[in-house]
Amino acid sequence: MHTAAADHANFPQVDGQLAQSTGPIWERLQRLPKGLRAARLGEALLLLRHSDGRAVLGSRNFAQGILEDLGTQIDPRYVERRRRSLLHLSGAEHLRQRRLATPAFRAAAIDRLRPLMRRTLCDLLDRINPGQAVDLVAELTQPYPIPVICAALGVPAHDHSFFSRAADAWTLALFDPDAIPEGLAVHQQLDQYVTRLIEARRLRPADDLLTDLITGDGGKDTLTTMELIALVSALIMAGTDTTRLQLASGLDLLARHPDLWQMLRGNPELAPAAVEEITRLTPVASFLRRVAIKDTDLEGLQIRAGTRVILAISAMNRDPEVYPDPDRFDLTRPVATTALSFGGGVHYCLGGQLGRAEINEALILLGREIVELQPIGAPTWRPLKSLQGPLRLPARLVRHGGNQ
């Protein structure tokens, strides 16, 4: 396999710069030289420009590269399981499964979950005592998405904790080879659970996301049980950790911009713009990994087949060629679809609208209930190689009526 080091020796090696600095990936990347198009990170080529990211995501010359980053000495059962995921499929089979799954994520299907989103968040807020210094991750953002995605799939409330553990195990295994045995064991349990759930829905359809997935597009072609299991497992991960982390990063941003919090409180119609700015500035998947499967000329940058590529999404989302004053959190910025936080091309995030809806409903409800977000110390951030977001977010919530 070709490496970036062999083919792109003129680009700087930035492993040390990123590892020695602190904070989330987007803050570390801001310390790199301005105007840098690419760099080397390990054996991969790190791309930093928005136009390059858009080109790679839209090209069939690049395939998913997550498994390549985990190395070759990993359990083949895990590799096989990952290759069945919609995230890793390509070509006609990927398009088929995506077409069959798309109806479950249409606006009407998402809208029927919005009341549950609001009820879940209200219940969580009611558990926080007035004046209490809390970790917003542990008390608010971590438990928020699980009841939503579980209700969408028709999972009983008493099984929510199992689904939460499964999501945690899945995410850890994506980035840490040492976590693969535990992740595989948990997901084998999840396979058995989801199989029983699918069998029950086929006998008794319900008004839920799983029934929609089983039905597909209403045609003769439907997802097989194995395909449904892989898709539901991916949804549990995508519908929990990404929303948890993205909302936590958004609350951190808003706590550090009290003027914008007050603007949002007074103008809840700005919530969609806030969601777009939060996902632009603090993307959960700040690094997207790809591998070139064909020699490619990327606007003069030659990338050989076999080269591992990392798209620095958080840098691309702050490209001054695309975003004026790119580092500013601007609620009046025109809502655009240029940010690459949800990927692009045929692998654009299928559940992106569900995640947007969950964050949108959370911002509106919190804006109505919380007068002030008071940060207490600095957040603790997840490791560089994992999904990005706070591990801890200490704060105090000032409620209406002068109660904290």
Task: Quick: pLDDT tens for 209-239.
Answer: 888 888 876 667 788 888 888 888 777 776 7
> What is the structure's pLDDT at 26?
95
Average pLDDT along the chain: 87
* Residue 70's pLDDT band (cuts 50, 70, 90): low
Bigger pLDDT: 170 or 355?
Answer: 355
* Residue 109's pLDDT band (cuts 50, 70, 90): confident
Q: What is the CATH architecture assignment of 1-77+286-340?
A: 2-Layer Sandwich (3.30)
Q: Is the model's pLDDT at 345 over the cut of 70?
A: yes
Average pLDDT of 200-212? 88
- Report in angstroms the alpha-carbon separations of 145 from 124, 151, 183, 206, 311: 11, 10, 20, 21, 27
> What is the structure's pLDDT at 282?
97
Q: Is the model's pLDDT at 270 over the cut of 60?
A: yes
- How many C-alpha atoms does 268 have within 13 Å on its Cβ side? 12
> What is the structure's pLDDT at 274?
96
* Residue 384's pLDDT band (cuts 50, 70, 90): confident
Average pLDDT of 47-76? 82
How many whole angstroms separate alpha carbon 243 and alpha carbon 222? 28
Q: For the chain, what percent of residues have pLDDT higher than 90?
A: 50
Q: Is the model's pLDDT at 285 over the cut of 70?
A: yes
* Residue 179's pLDDT band (cuts 50, 70, 90): confident
Going from N- to C-terminal start, the domains of the chain cover: 1-77+286-340
> What is the structure's pLDDT at 191?
87
Q: Is the model's pLDDT at 378 over the cut of 60?
A: yes
> How would you classify the pairing of strands 370-375 and 296-298?
unpaired
- How many C-alpha atoms does 321 have within 13 Å on its Cβ side? 11
How many whole angstroms separate alpha carbon 339 and alpha carbon 283? 9
> What is the structure's pLDDT at 71?
57
Nearest Cα neighbor of 240 from 101, 120, 96 is 120
Whole-structure pTM value: 0.91
Average pLDDT of 294-316? 95
> What is the structure's pLDDT at 64?
79
> What is the structure's pLDDT at 233?
78
How many whole angstroms separate alpha carbon 269 and alpha carbon 306? 46
Contact 303, 38 (CB under 8 A): no
How many whole angstroms separate alpha carbon 50 and alpha carbon 279? 15
> What is the structure's pLDDT at 399?
83
Contact 39, 46 (CB under 8 A): yes
> What is the structure's pLDDT at 218?
66
Render pLDDT for 9-54 as a digit per residue (tens, 0 to 9): 789 999 999 988 889 999 999 999 989 999 999 999 999 999 999 9
